[in-house]
A and B are shown apart, each in its own frame.
Chain A
Amino acid sequence: MKRATGSHTGTGTWLVQRATALALALLLPFLALRILAALPLDAEGWQAHFAPAWSRVAWLAAALAVALHAWIGVRDVLMDYVKPTPLRLLLYLLVIAVLGGSVLWLMVLLWRVA
């Protein structure tokens, strides 16, 4: 069976990966520095850390960017190595479930604390 190309997509995915990389380059040092500055943190310290809404939003944005960035990267690897389409699709869904589930889980945790 020959393999066809020409789906007229690809640039959007690439742009999302670049944009999330940029977002992470800015967000991660900021979040890390904020924790380092507050060390040592006890349970109440962590509560205070996540108390402002913008802190929770920043963490969630970072997690979302990691998930999107990782999704495109893992998808690229799967496209190279997993040739049977049904199997690749199944693996895509698994990756989406793990990444999406993790982000949702983080969201639940962050807002339960508040």
Chain B
Amino acid sequence: MKFRLYRYDSEAGGKPWMQEVDLDIDPAGKMLLDALIAIKAQDETLSLRRSCREGVCGSDAMNVNGRNRLACITPLSELKEPIEVRPLPGLPVIRDLVVDMEPFYKQYRSIRPWLVNDSPEPEVERLQTPEDRALLDGAWECILCACCTTACPSFWWNPETFVGPAGLLQAYRFIADTRDEATSARLDNLEDPYRLYRCRGIMNCVDACPKGLNPTEAIGRIRSLLVKRRV
């Protein structure tokens, strides 16, 4: 199979270049990550992140034939040759397919991704009804792979100020949580022309999410809450 791999070493300097690789591999039942690991076995200078190799850890997000996906759950047989593999767009490249995720994590931290509850702790856990718990479905499954946020033009243009789809989906996860008591502060935090309202609903995030989540819908729900508390 033919591959075109993005190669770059920020420490060595120079310009990024595309490496043509011809790999002898049977695509049946194999994922893109299997091929990349086989290529790395031949040429150990190729750098990429990977860990769980089953779409749970979110380490091996990369741009494959123009789409952000997880290499470990992308079947080789589905991909058109030459398979062009690039790092996630919109984040600084450290080396080859490894990007600096800090701008992404910084926005994630900015929405305070933890439960805020100042009420006295009950004797047992803070319980939820099944209905309350169901409100978190479609939000808690996010693995923070950054496929969605780095597919979003609004994040490309405003990485310092726009929270991005992953961060906003997580913001919604805590806003929707009945055990969280900081809803007003969370909405205040997002009530801003840049932090939330850079989203124009083009839904690249929905197209890119390897877990099938819908950040645009979550952003819409946050916006409804912002509107309701105002009118």
A67-B200 Cα distance, complex, nearest whole Å: 19
- Chain B CB within 8 A of A53 CB: no
- Chain B CB within 8 A of A84 CB: no
Q: Could you say which of A2, A7, A13, A79 has the most chain B C-beta atoms within 10 Å of its C-beta?
A: A79
Q: Is A3's CB under 8 angstroms from B160's CB?
A: yes
Closest residue of chain A to B226 (Cβ to Cβ) is A11
Residue from the list A2, A13, A15 in contact with B193, Cβ < 8 A: A13
Q: Is A3's CB under 8 angstroms from B193's CB?
A: no
Q: Is A14's CB under 8 angstroms from B223's CB?
A: yes
A11-B196 Cα distance, complex, nearest whole Å: 10
Q: Is A10's CB under 8 angstroms from B193's CB?
A: yes
Q: Could you say which of A10, A13, A76 has the most chain B C-beta atoms within 10 Å of its C-beta?
A: A10
Q: Is B200's CB under 8 angstroms from A9's CB?
A: no
Q: Is A5's CB under 8 angstroms from B192's CB?
A: yes
Q: Is B227's CB under 8 angstroms from A6's CB?
A: no
A103-B196 Cα distance, complex, nearest whole Å: 31
Q: With A80-B154, A80-B198 given, is the CB distance from A10 to B192 under 8 Å?
A: yes
**Which residues of chain B have C-beta atoms less than 8 A from A2's C-beta?**
160
Q: With A5-B195, A76-B200 given, is the CB distance from A81 to B230 under 8 Å?
A: no
A3-B196 Cα distance, complex, nearest whole Å: 15
**Which residues of chain B have C-beta atoms less than 8 A from A80's C-beta?**
154, 157-158, 198
**Which residues of chain B have C-beta atoms less than 8 A from A112's C-beta?**
none
**Closest-CB distance, B202 to chain A (whole angstroms):** 12
**Which residues of chain A have C-beta atoms less than 8 A from B194's C-beta?**
5, 79
Q: With A76-B200, A80-B198 given, is the CB distance from A10 to B160 under 8 Å?
A: no
- Chain A CB within 8 A of B65 CB: no
**Which residues of chain B have C-beta atoms less than 8 A from A9's C-beta?**
191-193
Q: Is A10's CB under 8 angstroms from B227's CB?
A: no
Q: With A7-B193, A79-B194, A80-B154 given, is the CB distance from A12 to B230 under 8 Å?
A: yes
Residue from the list B154, B158, B197 in contact with A10, Cβ < 8 A: B197
Bitwise, B146-170 to A at CB < 8 A (1) or not (0) is 0000000010011011000000000
B interface list, Cβ under 8 A from A: 154, 157-158, 160-161, 188-189, 191-198, 200, 223, 226-227, 230-231
Known A6-B195, A7-B193, A10-B192; further 5 A-B contacts with Cβ < 8 A: A5-B194, A5-B195, A10-B195, A10-B197, A11-B227
**Nearest 3 A/B pairs, CB to CB:** A10-B197, A80-B157, A10-B193
